[in-house]
């Protein structure tokens, strides 16, 4: 099995439509800790973003109508901000927000194109199952680019929570 297939399997990726991603990942951590990883700027710095980029800044006003901004730095040293608005916040189980790139990290992901993300966390004993969904992606190429970035992020989150 090649590395990409292994990563998609580990993250239980499905793409039910050309503009949609679904990922189900189970973490060996309590739900409250996984929630904090999604909602605490200091924790976002350690896992949010694809493997080729570093995360250099994170701000999050986690409430309905609140905004977030995460800045990724590519290998050339260019900052690529992601931003959006929280549309639903139900601690410690449901988070929904818009997701936009301030400038494209790759040509497939247009600047200021609004997508929608939901994250649902479910307790499974001492583990947490995360159901992640992103919709409204601009193209199949954009969808596939986001799959790689989210899988990198969730692998980093898994390592951080371990």
Locate the DSSP E strands across 44-126.
54-60, 67-73, 79-90, 94-101, 115-124
Residue 121 lies inside a defined structural domain of this protein: yes
Residue 19 lies in a domain: no
Pick from 23-32, 101-110, 145-154: least confident? 101-110
In a domain, 20, yes or no: no
Residue 8 has pLDDT above 90, yes or no: no
Q: What is the mean pLDDT of the chain?
A: 95
Which CATH number goes with the domain that contains 40?
A: 3.30.530.20
The residue-averaged pLDDT of 42-58 equals 94
- Report the alpha-carbon angle 37-131-29, nearest 5: 45
Q: What is the pTM of this model?
A: 0.95
Residue 74 has pLDDT above 90, yes or no: yes
User: Domains in the chain: how many in total?
Assistant: 1
User: How far apart are alpha carbons 111 and 40 in whole angstroms?
Assistant: 25
Residue 120: domain span: 3-13+25-161
């Amino acid at each position: 099995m090649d590395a990409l297939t292994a990563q998609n399997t580990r993250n239980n990726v499905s793409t039910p439509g050309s503009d949609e991603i679904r990922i189900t990942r189970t973490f060996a951590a309590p739900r409250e800790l996984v929630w904090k990883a999604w909602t605490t700027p200091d924790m976002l710095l350690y896992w949010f973003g694809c493997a080729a980029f570093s995360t250099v800044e994170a701000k999050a006003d986690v409430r309905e109508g609140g905004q977030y901004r995460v800045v990724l730095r590519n290998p050339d040293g260019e900052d690529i901000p992601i931003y959006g608005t929280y549309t639903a916040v139900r601690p410690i189980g449901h988070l929904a927000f818009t997701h936009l790139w301030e400038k494209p990290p790759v040509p497939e992901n247009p600047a200021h194109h609004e997508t929608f993300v939901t994250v649902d966390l479910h307790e499974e004993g001492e583990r947490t199952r995360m159901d992640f969904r992103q919709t409204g992606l601009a193209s199949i190429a954009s969808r596939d680019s986001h799959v790689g970035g989210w899988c990198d992020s969730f692998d980093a989150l898994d390592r951080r929570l371990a």
